[in-house]
Structure 1
Amino acid sequence: MTNKDEITMNSDKNAYFLSLPEITELSVPPKTILLEEGRIADKLFLIRKGCLRLFFNNEGQDITFQFFFEGDFVASFDSLYKRTPSLFSLESIEPAELSVMKREDFFRNLGQKPVLRQIYEEKIIERFHVYQRLFLSRIKNTPQQRYEELLKEYPSIIQRVPQHYIASYLGITAVSLSRIRNRR
């Protein structure tokens, strides 16, 4: 499958989601907290425009562990499913245009619409795959290698995401990231 085929399939899936009557639209400025760590998730978001990040607080320092861009579905899936407090916060980095579905509408539709269930399962598997790669990368790769992987996957991330969030994501300081960038 080519990237173009993948984009078309994802666009079709996103169009299906957007066609559901329970969808609402939300525009938010940068630095908007959409889900606070410790709260129970009650919404699923589809990013139509913008960039979001997931982060958690570790002894007063916020640690970014994932970025999301146009076409991505975002939620604290564990919290959404189990009704447990979220282990992280969700925040907009850029002005964002989001399509939103409430938890109860989402799970009702999941039971009634096999296409939505298939989309959900694919997104969960995709997220699991991303976390596996991230976990292995943290164990076996140097910060330089992790940075190169990030640029390969998201070439425009440097223009869209502040350096301190990227450094946090890579598990290094902003100064170390600056050194890595200067070596390129």
Structure 2
Amino acid sequence: MKLDEKILPIILRNFSEENFGAKEIIIEEGKIARKLYYIKKGVTRAWLNNDGKEITFQFMFEGSFISSWESLFYNSPSLYNIETIEPIDVYSTSLEEFRQKMDHDPDIKEFYYASLEKRLLEYQKLFISRIKDTAEQRYHDLFSQFPEIIRRIPQHYIASYLGITSVSLSRIRSRK
């Protein structure tokens, strides 16, 4: 049994279950995040407003912990929104309750830090990809990592994530 198969039920045991419909903001830019969420079912996107233009920078699927980390940890306004793309079912808890669990169980702490390391590496790969790869390379990498993305996420969000227009994305997809 893998660590996450053993630890995840222990972590989620005292979390509350919540449901959100499609296109609901669960963490709002400029507001302080108060909860840590774990996606049981559904998909969300993280985005920010840049002079009236929505810039998507992350998609989170089932099995992801989500929050506005800097807001949650430092009690500061969130720099971005987290919005549901489709209806989602989540487990939620406060940071304080989660930290208490980590203090009492070293396996939970190990699981948490492994999750953070994985997230950090994903951000690093995205950052480097934005510098060195073409939009077409980024599209193919995204599609190979998450093949369901085409089925579950509207094209204009994917284009925003890739830093291109929907028209450019259509051209890339037609060259497959």
TM-score range, shorter chain: over 0.9
Paired residues, number:
176
Percent sequence identity over matched residues?
A: 45
Deviation at 1:62, TM superposition (A): 0.8
Picking from 51, 70, 87, the partner of 2:62 is 70
Give the TM-score taking structure 2 as reference length: 0.95
Q: 1:160 and 2:133 equivalent?
A: no
Deviation at 1:9, TM superposition (A): 4.1
Picking from 120, 133, 154, the partner of 2:125 is 133
Residues 3 and 111 in structure 2, CA contact (< 8 A), matched pair in contact too: no
Aligned to 1:119: 111
Aligned to 1:80: 72
Deviation at 1:67, TM superposition (A): 0.5
Deviation at 1:116, TM superposition (A): 2.0
Tell me, in whole angstroms, the C-alpha distance in 1 between the residues paired with 2:4 and 2:157. Answer: 27
Aligned to 1:10: 4
For the residue of structure 1 that corresponds to 2:63, the secondary structure is: coil
Give the TM-score taking structure 1 as reference length: 0.91
Residues 11 and 71 in structure 1, CA contact (< 8 A), matched pair in contact too: no
Tell me, in whole angstroms, the C-alpha distance in 2 between the residues paired with 1:149 and 1:121. Answer: 25
Deviations 1:21-73 (A, max 9, x none): 2x100111101111001111111111110001111110001111000111111
Aligned to 1:174: 166
Residues 26 and 97 in structure 1, CA contact (< 8 A), matched pair in contact too: yes
Moved over 6 A (4+): none
Unaligned runs of 5+ in 2: none
Unaligned runs of 5+ in 1: none
1:133 partner letter: K
Tell me, in whole angstroms, the C-alpha distance in 2 between the residues paired with 1:10 and 1:116. Answer: 9
Aligned to 2:38: 46
Aligned to 2:88: 96
Picking from 103, 107, 131, the partner of 2:99 is 107
Deviation at 1:117, TM superposition (A): 1.5
